[in-house]
Chain A
Amino acid sequence: MADILTVEHLKAYYLMNYFGITREVRAVDDITMSVRRNEVYGIAGESSSGKTSFIRVLAAAIRPPLRVVAGSARYEFDDRSIDVANAGPEAAEAIRWSHLSYIMQGSMSVLNPVRRIERTFEDFAARPLGLSGRALRQRFVEHLGRLKLPPEVLRAFPHELSGGMRQRVTIGLATIANPQFIIADEPTTALDVVVQKDVLSLIRNLQKEMGASVIFVTHDMAVHANMADRVGIIYAGRLVEEAPTRQLFTAPKHPYTAHLVASLPRIGDTTQRPALEGRPPNLADPPQGCRFHPRCPLAIEKCRQEVPPLATVAPDQRSACWRWDDVVPLPGSIPAARVPEPVR
């Protein structure tokens, strides 16, 4: 079966026109990737790396000044296929929540503070489920049971719930119509460590149960390590590396990834961690050539002139670096030899 999502040469820019002067911010610049069926695909990137703009295109929430300039993002659902990068709002509306859903970051700002949870559930689910009255309510109670939430939650206001419970409710909203594709944007960033692990395992279990595919966005590499099947790293609007999770952590082939992996402190290891100098580039005026070259320890003249293509460098692994063969794991990285037994 074909991949559920195929993105080809996607370019989405913020185009602004002030008094006849056009400015463009290349937030998503030529991204090609795909998400397989039944897979959790992790996307990592810093703030203002363009990951949120990329997600907006994938979630069919493209609003000016963000515009798709070129490329496509095609979903192959079981019963239909749609290119969200070029489809109109009506076509996007038809698949939202029923096929494609979205778990948002701040659970307090997602849930309406003056409406009971049940009303919010009705707003989200009545149309895609096509149910009403008692049948609809019965469905809510069943679904909350899957999320280990008591039915009384439906009568509660958002402020009466703890942060972890509220995040479970937003996950419930996103999954109630059994979507085939879920986009999760930093769903656990605001949570405490204990609750975070709990919520992550909940998302993972629901995904397996429903057979859905998930794009999971966070800047926390430790979450990706435990959550994702494959991870893609975005830097300054471009996908710079993509690999199966274990491979990405033990044998990174892009200097930026190598740094991200090595800078993760671990309990039981006191190796001096390196800090990356410089700052992420301004997307309105990105550097020539490879966008990472001003901060890259391996940069050569070619990196300053030519943009490296995202090339396959190992089975299932792609890297956009001219010198990918010279990238070695930095001190503090995880030794490849210690392979844990998978529990899945």
Chain B
Amino acid sequence: MSVPLLEVDRVSKEFAMGGLLSRQHIRAVDDVSFTLQADKAEIFTIIGESGSGKTTLARMILGLERPTSGDLRFRGELISRRMSRPERLAFMAAVQPVFQNPFEAFNPLKQVDRYLFATARRFLPSPDQAAVEAAADAALVKVGLSLVEVRGRFPHELSGGQLQRVAIARALIPNPPLLITDEPVSMVDASLRMSIVNLLKALRDDHGVSVIYITHDLATAYYISDRIVIMQKGKVVETGPARAVLDAPEHPYSRLLKASVLSAEDAGAGKLGPATDLMALSDRLLGATESRLEQRQDGRAVRTYSELPAA
């Protein structure tokens, strides 16, 4: 078996809150493990509400944060450690981020092509202008734009969808095998949203780029992902093949998330009753002391509890 692309091995992250006397420790990420294979590109989705630890997990994969315990390995190399500058650059060329709000990611006073050129200059072996421009153009073509359209433009001259595509193009310049995208469509307008989602799909299918897609939107997750992991307050509660898990979620929290998705299918029926029983049950399970992930036959793993804590 070949070396996996990314290995997340029993990773936890604790943050300390409060002063000296009232110090509390918050486990933002609690014992999370998964593996992305190198030979098959896939879209791996991390689902969770705010406070579920999904962004902390992404920051650890990007090397911006070091885990309290556990190891992260990229192509067999430990990344949760101090790296020398050449090592760090090589890692950054292979794992690139795309952020949530494209209007905040770009400086409004800077032309967007400067970001593309700066990234190209840093990661290309020969930093002459012709090669830099060729690399920027090639990356823009992958996202359905071209350098002619983007050259000299300021962020406010592009739509949210175009700007997010430029952000993805910038990430693609060093030809990374892995993209980390944190809620890439939540700030993009409805009519442009699907162009970004379809683009992520095309990157996987046509260019062999693996994508870690972080979101709270179950509908787009169902549409594009191969595997998903659902997180509740730092813990993985259910993980497995995306379609199987979302078609019939098993853990109460996954069921609650699915029940809370507003479906257009019932348009006009006014179905808004919250799933209070599931809400109470998943809250109760948070207090459980002993639990473990149990494998199921269809490839998923579900968190099970040795005893149900009292309400």
A binding-site residues for B, Cβ under 8 Å: 44, 46-47, 163, 192-194, 196-198, 200-201, 204, 219-223, 225-227, 244-250, 256, 259-261, 263-268, 270, 272-277, 279-280, 334, 338, 340-344
Contacts and interface: CB of A to CB of B under 8 A. Distances in A.
A197 B260 contact: yes
A307 B275 CA distance: 46
A341 B266 CA distance: 9
Nearest to A280: B159
Contacts of A270: 222-223, 243
Given A222-B219, A342-B269, A342-B270, 4 more contacts: A225-B263, A226-B266, A263-B194, A275-B198
Given A267-B246, A342-B268, A223 B195 contact: no
Interface in B153-168: 158-162
A249 B274 contact: no
Given A193-B261, A264-B219, A270-B222, A340 B191 contact: no
Q: Which 9 A-B pairs have the closest CB atoms?
A: A246-B268, A275-B195, A249-B267, A279-B159, A201-B272, A225-B267, A245-B268, A192-B49, A265-B223
Nearest to B272: A201
A277 B144 CA distance: 11
Contacts of A256: 191
Interface in B193-218: 193-195, 197-198, 216-218
Nearest to A279: B159
Contact of B265 (A192, A223, A272, A338): A338
B22 to A, nearest CB: 16
Contacts of A219: 189-190
Contacts of B273: 201, 343
A263 B193 contact: yes
Contacts of B50: 163, 192
A226 B189 contact: no
B89 interface: no
Contacts, number: 154
A341 B217 CA distance: 26
A225 B266 contact: yes
Contact of B189 (A246, A249, A280): A280
Nearest to B266: A340
Interface of B: 49-50, 158-162, 189-195, 197-198, 216-220, 222-223, 243, 246-247, 256-258, 260-274, 279
A268 B222 contact: yes
A267 B162 CA distance: 27
Contacts of A225: 262-264, 266-268
Q: Which of A200, A263, A270 has the most CB of B within 10 A?
A: A263
Contacts of B265: 266, 334, 338, 340
A221 B272 contact: no
Contact of B194 (A222, A266, A268, A275): A275
Contacts of B218: 193, 267
Given A204-B272, A246-B268, A193 B216 contact: yes
A222 B262 contact: yes
Nearest to A259: B191
A193 B257 contact: yes
A193 B189 CA distance: 18
Contacts of A227: 270, 272
Given A219-B189, A279-B161, A280-B189, A194 B260 contact: yes
A341 B267 contact: no
Given A194-B257, A198-B274, A220-B190, A244 B216 contact: no
B262 A268 contact: no
B191 A276 contact: yes
Nearest to A201: B272
Given A267-B261, A275-B198, A340 B222 contact: no
A267 B161 contact: no
B197 A273 contact: yes
